[in-house]
Amino acid sequence: MNHKPNKILIVEDECIVASHIAETLKDLGYQITDMVTSGEMALQSVGKDQPDLILMDIVLGGEMTGTQTAEEINARIDVPVIFLTAYSDKKTVANAKAVGPFGYIVKPFKEKDLNSSIQVALEKHRQVKDLKHKEEWYKSSLKNLGEAVIAVDKNGDVSSINRLAESLTGMAENKGIGKPIRNIFSLDKENSGEGDPILKVIETGIPLDLSGKLTFSRGGDISAHINVTAVRDEKGNILGAVLVLHKINKTGDLENPVWHEMGKQANLDKEPGKNFHIANICPWCKKIFNEQRGRWDSIELYFKDSKPDLEFSHCMCSECAGGLGLFDPEKTR
């Protein structure tokens, strides 16, 4: 497969140095979009040519320095910048680091060092973009999730509130972010015990699942069911927790927030006075929280605990098989 060469903008006010860099980059297989000598010219070139990477001298002719130019470019377009400089003193390096560059090369430099810096910067930028895309996707999914969800960091400060949680608590996300969760609502001590139960989940990793009264800082209270689960990184370190809230109506039933907004009541189809159990399911990986074992299990493991005689046989539905191009579902009916 033929890949298009990466496009690079050179911002260097020493013409001989700029020409040498350009020739070196061409020999390495890169495409030069432009060679400019000032920050003002760089801003115009970036908007016109959309380079994949910028090599920026810190000391430039004109009114803008290289760091000021990079800062302005970062505000306009997402493109990695590598600084070029003949200076390596602490002040110069500190000013460059403050802009968040993807590399820093001291002149004079060798061809292999230049190429390595460019390749590392391009790969790092790709990874950052992928991470941002995933974060945006998760945030969008969380916003539109059919549950009232609040996320807190390891200090118990709110990091996210989705739309249904905003509606339930009366706290807009832009006003709740960064505030301790206790500033949004508190749990009655009769059911939650002494101390902050949410901080206990973050400290111990043991999930919280209870029903009780939530008192809101904005005023008022409701009966609700709350589930708090610790969130861990790949190494098992606790990063914070996710809270899922369900309002309990006057008859003691849980209200599904989505149906509630539509003016419908969740029909749990249970006998009067009979207890019912809520299975907490992750909307992304579809694992179910196993309360007996205090962990997230696959569907198979979850039901093996509750129904040991139940056997599973894995097969593929027609929609998945069709999506994978294995066969045409229409022809197999």
Q: So what's the pLDDT on residue 264?
A: 37
Q: So what's the pLDDT on residue 326?
A: 47
| Cis peptide bond N-terminal to 108, omega within 30 | yes
**The two three-digit tokens of residue 135, written as one number:** 């974060």
d(C-alpha 153, C-alpha 199), whole Å: 10
pTM value is: 0.54
Q: So what's the pLDDT on residue 253?
A: 61
Q: Are strands 185-187 and 158-161 parallel, antiparallel or unpaired?
A: unpaired
Q: So what's the pLDDT on residue 36?
A: 92
d(C-alpha 291, C-alpha 237), whole Å: 20
Q: So what's the pLDDT on residue 259?
A: 39
d(C-alpha 306, C-alpha 47), whole Å: 61
Q: So what's the pLDDT on residue 306?
A: 66
Q: So what's the pLDDT on residue 88?
A: 67
Sheet of 53-57, strand order: 31-36, 7-11, 53-57, 81-85, 103-106
Q: So what's the pLDDT on residue 327?
A: 45
d(C-alpha 69, C-alpha 41), whole Å: 10
* Average pLDDT for runs of 10 along the chain of length 333: 82 90 93 92 89 90 86 90 80 77 86 92 90 74 72 89 85 86 79 72 85 81 84 82 82 53 39 54 70 72 70 56 47 42
d(C-alpha 301, C-alpha 296), whole Å: 9
- Domains belonging to the chain, first-starting first, are 7-139 (3.40.50.2300), 146-266 (3.30.450.20)
